[in-house]
Amino acid sequence: MFVLVNLKAYPCDPVEIAEAAADVSDETGVRVAVAPQAAHLPAVAETGVETWAQHVSPVEHGSHTGSTLAEAVADAGAAGTLINHSEARRKLADIDASLDAAERADLETVVCANNPDQVGAAAALGPDAVAVEPPELIGTGTPVSKADPDIVTDAVDAAAAVDESVDVFCGAGISTGDDLDAAADLGATGVLLASGVAKADDPRAALEDLVEPLA
């Protein structure tokens, strides 16, 4: 299982969380990555944790003020990027172009989707993984694996019907080791989470609890 912690724009210490994630990953052997704000990518990468961007823009080098260039993200230390998070939705053509940009920069990719139909459409674009995240559950502490487990199994089936090489991750409401176990039982090979770690009083303890079933 892959654990990807999205720090969004929460008022947390990205380096503290990155150091905790690196330690937990080293101690347990579980793959844990952290996706901070773009300005914090170098500092997070310096901790040694696997570092991801929250977004890359569908552009090449050129006149694109305000864009997040995939090559710049990679130069800052990122190994991968989220695309089309529900809080940063993109048109299908832009998702495709962002995937092209990530491929140019040799970044691993996870395309987020709201439901199994969108998962199938996203998988057809050839990302490394898709993540099903019903937006109404994001930040609630109620995981989709419990609220509506059929969404996860249907997403796994939808991706497999298009391209069996595309992994399916589970997001929205993930916060405990039980949530991670449930996602795995439904066929997911990774999880996305944010507030369960970024807003935790003790991010290290939250991460340790999360990966405990895998340790």
Catalytic residues: 85, 133
Report the 10 Å Cβ neighbour count for 161: 13
What is the CA angle 44-49-55, rounded to 5? 60
Sign of CA dihedral 14, 17, 20, 25: negative
CB 144 within 8 A of CB 164: no
Binding residues for substrate: 6-8, 138, 173, 194-195
The CA distances from residue 121 to 36, 92, 193, 197, in Å, are: 27, 9, 23, 30
Paired with 193 in beta bridges are 5
3-state secondary structure of 96: helix
Binding residues: 6-8, 138, 173, 194-195
**Phi and psi at residue 32, in whole multiples of 5°?**
-125, 130
